[in-house]
Structure 1
Amino acid sequence: MYKSIFIFIISLLFISCNDETTQEDNEKIIAKNKQTFNLLSSIWDLKVPTLSPTAENEVSNWNEWQQFVIEINQKPKSNLTAFQLKTKNISSKIDSLQLNIPSQFNIPQVKSRIAALDTKIKMLDSFIHLTDVPQNKIKELIPEINEEMKSLVGQWEEIIIKKRIPKEVGEEYMIQALDTTRNASPELMMEKIRKQDSIDNQQFKDENKSPQRKKLLKTE
């Protein structure tokens, strides 16, 4: 009988200790979440760069982009859960963005910039949903996401400007040649120069060996 009472008392003490530990852990999590929420509220300044009137007109019918902008511009206010829901929604919107790109913007340069933006947003979404949110990582990601959006919009502006400039005869071929040169690696360019020099030297030697060239030299 005494043994049973002893076991019962020990069980109560064990349960009580567990409850205290659980409550303490919960309080720590709540305090950490509140700290993270306060941080996010102070640094959350995601914003889409202002487009030129022409560019704004070009994307006015791009529904996926308009939905993405609306989601970005709405800042969460209530708690950490609101920020978690926000990053999830933004991540979903950029997935839709990649699936329906207007034809004039559907080029590798634009796709690569959207992909880079998507990667940053997915990272932010993953970090915010962790139990122990890495606050320093989030501090770094917010401005990086803004830079990616700025780069994307800048690419659109460049496409629109080039489209509006009338091309003279042969100008398009010249632009293609310049693009090829810019995209080539320095090593490849040097190798092409060396090969061309070798070809030119050989042609010079062959011309000097020709009977006509020898005859001309004797005459001189």
Structure 2
Amino acid sequence: MKYKLLYILGLLLLTVSCKEEANQKRLAEQAKDAKKKKVIFENIQKGWDFYDEPINEATEESVKTWTELRAFMQELRQKPKRTISAYQHKSKAISKKVMALKNNVPELFNKPQVQSRISVLITKVRLLDMFIHLDNIPDKKVVQLVGEINKELATLQRQMDILTEKSKIPVEEGEDEMRRMLLDSARAIPNSVMPNQSVIPASTRAIINPNDARVE
């Protein structure tokens, strides 16, 4: 009976010891995971610095009606705080705003070179949103994408500035009128006329009689 009690007591002590060891291991893993998440958060927080250089005054005037661009830039300026979850919510909001950039583009900027820059920007922002929502967040990749988005924003704004400056170049005197004359002349020539075929005005044909005597 005595040995049986000692055996049972030993099993209880072993069970308690195993549970204590498992708890300590679990706590150590949780502490390690928390430390890792803290490092990831701090890296993202430090690298989350979006391009906020204002475009020139002339371009600013031209984009007053482009509310989608203004809303996107405003979303970028609002930096999240405290938790990685806040950055995930911000990334989702930025991704939603960037998808609307192709809507209501001002006529001045509705050009292939601007549309292509917008498409690249959309791709970069959506990648950022995808990576930051992974279970194991690649913080270095997230920070890298922030830098790439900044580069695309700078390129887009520079392209817009170029188009704005070109629009201010005055047309040389008579150039616009000459273009219209050339266009009207091209439209007036029938497609059936061969290059070497002469075109006789109707008023001239009306007074020519084929039976008239020809002067040799």
Partner amino acid, structure 2, of 1:39: N
Residue matched to 1:149: 153
Aligned counterparts of 2:101 and 2:14: Cα–Cα separation in 1: 60
Aligned counterparts of 1:15 and 1:63: Cα–Cα separation in 2: 60
Instruction: Compare the two structures and name the one with the higher helix fraction.
Output: 1
Residue matched to 1:33: 37
2:128 maps to 1:124:
yes
2:55 maps to 1:54:
no
Residue matched to 1:63: 67
Shift of 1:128: 1.1
2:95 maps to 1:87:
no
Aligned counterparts of 2:33 and 2:107: Cα–Cα separation in 1: 48
Larger Rg: 2
- TM-score normalised by L of structure 1: 0.65
Shift of 1:138: 2.2
Change (3 A) 1:166 1:21: same
Aligned counterparts of 1:98 and 1:25: Cα–Cα separation in 2: 46
C-alpha contact 2:62 2:106 (8 A) present in aligned 1: no
Partner amino acid, structure 1, of 2:108: Q
Aligned counterparts of 2:98 and 2:128: Cα–Cα separation in 1: 13
Percent identical residues: 34
Aligned counterparts of 1:53 and 1:66: Cα–Cα separation in 2: 14
Q: Give structure 1 stretches of 5+ with no counterpart.
A: 1-8, 174-220
Structure 1, 24-33 or 137-146: larger mean CA deviation: 24-33
- TM-score normalised by L of structure 2: 0.66
Q: CA RMSD in A?
A: 3.0
Aligned counterparts of 1:24 and 1:101: Cα–Cα separation in 2: 54
